[in-house]
Every structure is written in C-alpha cells, then in structure tokens.
Amino acid sequence: MEKVKLGAVPYIYPIPIVLVGATVNGRANYAEVGDCALMGIRPALVCVSLGKDHHTTQGIDEHEAFSINIPTQRMLAVTDYCGIASGKDVDKSVLFEAFPGEHTGVPMIQDCPVGLECRVKEAVQIEHRRIFIAEVLECYVSAAFVTRSDRGPQIAELSRLDPILYGLDNRYYTIGAPTGTGYREGASYRNAA
C-alpha cells in the first residue's frame, strides 16, 4: 500500500474518554481527558496528560492525587462540557454528585460506573504538557456492574458499561461487537502457520 506522510500527528485511535477529578483550591474540579492510558496491571499504573496551566493540573500538583472516572454514553453532554468549560471560569463541583476517595480524599464521581483513585508517582513535563504517571490505590465500581464469581468480584461485560470513545476525527463513538479473545486468536494463528 502506498503511504502518505501527514507530518507530526499523534494519530492513535480510538481513545477512551475519562473525567479526571482533582481538588483545586478546596473545591472539586473535573477535566475531560482523552490523553489517558493503562500503563501496567501489576503494579497498577495509569497515566494522564494535561496542559500545564489547566485548572485541574494545579490541583494534581498540589495534592499529588487525582481520580479517573469513566463516564457512560448517557453522560456524553456533561462530559463534553467538562472539556469546554474551565474550572477557572465556572464551578464544576456542582456538575456531579461525588464521594471522597478513601486514601487521598480526591473527588470520585458517583454516576460513573468505574472510578480509579490515583496517587502520582512521576510527573514529566514536556513543553506545555504535564504528564502524570500514577499508581491506582483503589478501583470503585457501581454494584450494579459487578458480578460474583469463584475468582471474587468481577466487572460486568464491557458493552453494559457503555463507554465513550473518541476518534481524533472529533467524533465520539460507542464500543462495538466482541471479535475475539486475548491469547486465543494468536494461538490459532501459530498453529495454522
């Protein structure tokens, strides 16, 4: 296939949309973030990237803690709003019912089915971006999305969680159909080779 060069474009797609929560000047604030990722299971690591002058960034730097709250499609409008409005201009603490994370007190959004309480381990600044690598201290899941199994409590199937994806084409998407199982599709490939 012939290739076209688009220049320095970080085109990773799609990206999961989350709400990053922090306490800024004593008040809960939330930012919509797509620059967010899992960085490892054991230890439980995540990272987020924010503008260095963003209101939420100030709170993370002050408390070295933040929350990652994963919204559902039903929350799309308020989530997008958190990406438009700055906590410098409006009080976003009123947008969500919140509870404090047990270890750090960071605001966790009650309506999000999954919330991660995170403590910063490393902060890396590159130009105007501030990248926080953090450990997950606790994962809070709404009881309606938890199933019990022999291996202990498990999170329900992903389609029920109805997450918001973003495509860098500036569109939001749902998750689609399951197409395979990890470590199984490749086993077939190896056997066929």
Which of 26/190 has CB closer to a second copy? Answer: 190
Interface residues for a second copy in 72-131 (CB under 8 A)?
73, 76-85, 99, 110-111, 113-116, 121-122, 124, 126-127, 129, 131
Phi-psi region of 39 (alpha: psi -120 to 50; beta: other; left: phi over 0): alpha
Q: How far apart are CA 158 and CA 160, in angstroms?
A: 5
Q: At its nearest, how many Å lie between a second copy and the CB of residue 60?
A: 15
Q: Judged by CB under 8 A, which stretch of 20-28, 59-67, 138-146 contacts a second copy?
A: 138-146
Q: Which amino acid is at 32?
A: E
Q: At its nearest, how many Å lie between a second copy and the CB of residue 22?
A: 17
Site string for a second copy, 17-56 (x = CB under 8 A): -x---------------xxxxxxxx-xxxxx-x-------
Q: At its nearest, how many Å lie between a second copy and the CB of residue 59?
A: 19
Q: How far is residue 90 from each of residues 82, 160, 177, measured CA to CA in Å?
A: 10, 32, 38
Q: How far is residue 104 from each of residues 87, 99, 137, 176, measured CA to CA in Å?
A: 21, 11, 9, 35
